[in-house]
Structure 1
Amino acid sequence: MKTYGIICEYNPFHNGHIYQIEETKKQTGATHIVAIMSGNYVQRGEPALMDKFKRAEIAVKNGVDLVIEMPVQYCLANAELFARCGVMLLGSLRCVEGISFGSESGSIDQLKECADAVMAVTTPENLKPLLEQGMPFPDAIHQLVTYKYGPLVGDVLNSPNNILAVEYLKSLKILGLMDKIQPFTVKREGAAHDGEEHSGNIASGEYIRRLIDDGEDFSAFVPKDTADAINEYDDKELLCWFENFERILMYRLRTISPQELATVPDVGQGLENRIFQAARMSGTLEQLLNAIKVKRYPMARIKRILLNTLFGIKSEDLKAPPMYGRILALNDRGTEILKMAGSLPEDKFSIPFSSSLKDFVDSNKENPRAMRSIGMTTVSSDIYTLGARNIRPSGMDFTAKIAYEKLEGFVSELPADLKTTAHAGTVEQVNKERAAEAAAKKAAEEAKKDDSAEESKEN
């Protein structure tokens, strides 16, 4: 058993993701794949097209074995904190041997060199003069790395996937996990992350979302499960778009003070006043975004700030590590990952994992930080249901059923007497649910037979 992790968003799950999973297994010998996936919101500061439960279900039907949710406050954080949370969650399983990520570079050595360079130049004395000139933080880092280590190293930071890859490597090093979790990169070919390009049957998520929004055919770039789900959600008007949050965002921004805005992640240097004024001068979401945007603040950062404001997420919330791991979907191999994790000694990264949010609520009532994290998740999920044309009921975090994919001919390689401490609850819960479903199905079939027999007698 060899488990590799992927930190992802799957918005939507497409052929490029399948390629990454297949290459990871082929090149590393990985037998099990665990995904740390963004929930209902993604790092570019927008809602995911489909809810987290449906996206996780599609993932376990197409090569992923276990999907764990990244808490919303980290989904809507900068690249550094997004990566840090994902790596922490992989480390908390204790049985993950490697992490796989895409990059334009394709060279772990080159990415490691760049990560070391970024860590070396990221000091207050280096950054302060550049930031005071109004230079965006990523540009300041790029300039410092290029100046000290040369353009070959600095140019690595010109590509979006390379930037995330560098953040994963930094996190592994800072958390002391580099020797436990081996990094592996799949070179991205053709379609760039969030670009308009496509090559063969592989396209970026941005390109696919654009096709969906324009009502054009996107099926060549995604597996059938994704195409079917998106078409179903589209027919039912359940696809979620950022523009649909226009009124609720304007309401929130017009009822909050500049002082409150200043507590939101990534707000600084007077940006709270700019947002406060823009919300009162703008009549549409587009006008609002354009009124706030300046060179120093990329649009993704502004959108993250707006959503964090809407959900009441504060800078303080990003100082706490993830308090629990919410399981969104799994298959038979996924239960093996949980059993193996539960059999290992606990360490500083250990946290509980479960598919039931109610379990976390019941066991953390005396833990304010955990309860706050749960609260941010449920509030953001309830607001997510307002982001489609067809509004859905709230409470999905407590009512949605996790997907369990039964693998045909599956035979576990784990010892039958493997002793587990944590995580076993989810496996038992899934087994109970499957048994209950089987019993209900059998009862329905028996009832149908009885009805048929009665009809035959009457005739």
Structure 2
Amino acid sequence: MRIGIIAEYNPFHNGHIYQINEIKKRWPQSQIIVILSGKYVQRGELAIAPFEVRKNIALQNNVDEVYELPFEFATQAAHIFAQGAIKELSKHNIDYLVFGSETNDIDNFYLVAKTIKDNNDLYYQKIKKAMKTGISFPKANQIVLEELIGKSFTLPNDILGLEYVKAIVNNNYPIKAFCIKRTNDFHSMIPSNNIASATYIRKLIFDNNLEYKQFTPMIFDKVPDRIENYYSNFQDIVKNTPNEELKKIKLISEGMENLFKKHIDAPSYDEFVNRVNSKRYTSSRIKRTMLYVLLNIKQEN
């Protein structure tokens, strides 16, 4: 039995060890194959440790194989991230996919995914109509699912989990999805015994607070590099690049280049994100776009 996990391990922590152990309990003879983000993660940030470091710590904790998720999927919105990750897993003959979930109701994920597939044209018509009111795709998706099915997913792992199941259903992959109940909230700043969210652990690490060691087997001899450290570079690019050139950057759309120019005087990375995000543009979307500006990744012709 080959079981797939899609992960960032940013950082690899005790919650991940719990998930791996649960898989081994349910399927004792299974092999665990991980598709892992590389240098950059989905929110457009630098991973807290290099790919090889995160790969090796997973291999030391009962994972059998680790493969890198290509950049073009790893740094995209949930539906593109999920499609790419499932596609990569399918290359490695996965039988099952296991993911963390807040609701832990796999039947519900399949119900929603199949309903969307069976009503694909209507679903996307309603998504487009909702987004014309100036809201983001995640919010539009929530509204449309409530209207069509009376169900929606609002928590991060559930949203991503639905995209995994949609990718499996839409492409008829011979993969069966299962979910495992998360032991704490995605962004929780309150630990539960020796398990804490990646958000909380990263804060400890960036604060050089050695308490992080009770939540992760990873060791950090120094404070890791952060995307925030490159904000001045980002400012220089936006200030010195004509709007017509900024528009060519991948993920720049609908006048976002003007919005960036307008707020580029923000004194810090976080302040810039706070100024620019809106009902239409989530913080994650803004951060991903900032990364693409920094790396000068152009739209495909």
TM-score by length of 1: 0.61
Quote the offset at 1:253 in angstroms: 2.1
Task: Determine the C-alpha separation between the residues in 2 that align with 1:71 and 1:299.
Answer: 22
- Match of residue 243, structure 2, among 251, 255, 258: 258
User: CA 1:124–1:263 in structure 2 vs 1: closer, same or farther (change >3 Å)?
Assistant: farther
User: CA 1:118–1:219 in structure 2 vs 1: closer, same or farther (change >3 Å)?
Assistant: farther
Q: Report the counterpart of residue 300 of structure 1 in structure 2.
A: 284
User: CA 1:65–1:260 in structure 2 vs 1: closer, same or farther (change >3 Å)?
Assistant: farther
Check whether the contact 2:43–2:288 (CA below 8 A) recurs between aligned residues.
Answer: yes
Task: Determine the C-alpha separation between the residues in 2 that align with 1:4 and 1:304.
Answer: 29
Deviant stretches of 4+, over 6 Å: none
Q: Match of 1:159, as an amino acid?
A: L
Unpaired segments of 5 or more residues in structure 1? 318-459
Quote the offset at 1:218 in angstroms: 1.3
Q: Report the counterpart of residue 134 of structure 1 in structure 2.
A: 134
Check whether the contact 2:157–2:186 (CA below 8 A) recurs between aligned residues.
Answer: yes
Check whether the contact 1:37–1:67 (CA below 8 A) recurs between aligned residues.
Answer: yes
Task: Determine the C-alpha separation between the residues in 1 that align with 2:6 and 2:245.
Answer: 32
Q: Report the counterpart of residue 247 of structure 1 in structure 2.
A: 232
Q: After the TM superposition, which residues 51-130 of structure 1 pair with which residues of structure 2 at under 5 Å, given as runs?
A: 51-93=50-92, 95-119=93-117, 120=119, 123-130=123-130
Quote the offset at 1:64 in angstroms: 1.3
User: Could you say what secondary structure the match of 2:189 adopts?
Assistant: coil
* Structure ID, larger Rg: 1
User: Could you say what secondary structure the match of 2:172 adopts?
Assistant: coil
Question: Does 2:131 align with 1:165?
Answer: no
Q: Report the counterpart of residue 311 of structure 1 in structure 2.
A: 295
User: CA 1:52–1:208 in structure 2 vs 1: closer, same or farther (change >3 Å)?
Assistant: same
Q: Which has the higher helix share?
A: 1
Check whether the contact 1:33–1:65 (CA below 8 A) recurs between aligned residues.
Answer: yes
Quote the offset at 1:283 in angstroms: 4.1
Task: Determine the C-alpha separation between the residues in 1 that align with 2:29 and 2:37.
Answer: 23
Question: Does 2:258 align with 1:273?
Answer: yes
User: Could you say what secondary structure the match of 1:96 adopts?
Assistant: coil
Task: Determine the C-alpha separation between the residues in 2 that align with 1:313 and 1:117.
Answer: 36
Q: Report the counterpart of residue 213 of structure 1 in structure 2.
A: 206
User: Could you say what secondary structure the match of 1:100 adopts?
Assistant: strand
Task: Determine the C-alpha separation between the residues in 1 that align with 2:297 and 2:188.
Answer: 29
Quote the offset at 1:129 in angstroms: 2.6
Task: Determine the C-alpha separation between the residues in 1 that align with 2:193 and 2:166.
Answer: 33
Q: Report the counterpart of residue 188 of structure 1 in structure 2.
A: 182
Check whether the contact 2:12–2:216 (CA below 8 A) recurs between aligned residues.
Answer: yes
Task: Determine the C-alpha separation between the residues in 1 that align with 2:247 and 2:115.
Answer: 31
Quote the offset at 1:273 in angstroms: 1.5
Q: Match of 1:268, as an amino acid?
A: S
Deviations 1:385-414 (A, max 9, x none): xxxxxxxxxxxxxxxxxxxxxxxxxxxxxx
Quote the offset at 1:315 in angstroms: 4.2
Quote the offset at 1:110 in angstroms: 1.2
Deviates more, 1:58-67 or 1:291-300: 291-300
Check whether the contact 1:105–1:111 (CA below 8 A) recurs between aligned residues.
Answer: no
Task: Determine the C-alpha separation between the residues in 2 that align with 1:286 and 1:18.
Answer: 31
Quote the offset at 1:286 in angstroms: 3.5
Task: Determine the C-alpha separation between the residues in 2 that align with 1:137 and 1:65.
Answer: 36
Quote the offset at 1:124 in angstroms: 4.2
Task: Determine the C-alpha separation between the residues in 1 that align with 2:281 and 2:162.
Answer: 21
Deviations 1:404-451 (A, max 9, x none): xxxxxxxxxxxxxxxxxxxxxxxxxxxxxxxxxxxxxxxxxxxxxxxx
Check whether the contact 1:4–1:30 (CA below 8 A) recurs between aligned residues.
Answer: no
Q: After the TM superposition, which residues 229-248 of structure 1 pair with which residues of structure 2 at under 5 Å, given as runs?
A: 229-230=219-220, 232=221, 234=222, 237=223, 239-248=224-233
Quote the offset at 1:302 in angstroms: 0.4
User: Could you say what secondary structure the match of 1:203 adopts?
Assistant: coil
RMSD: 2.0
Deviates more, 1:289-298 or 1:168-177: 289-298
User: Could you say what secondary structure the match of 2:61 adopts?
Assistant: coil
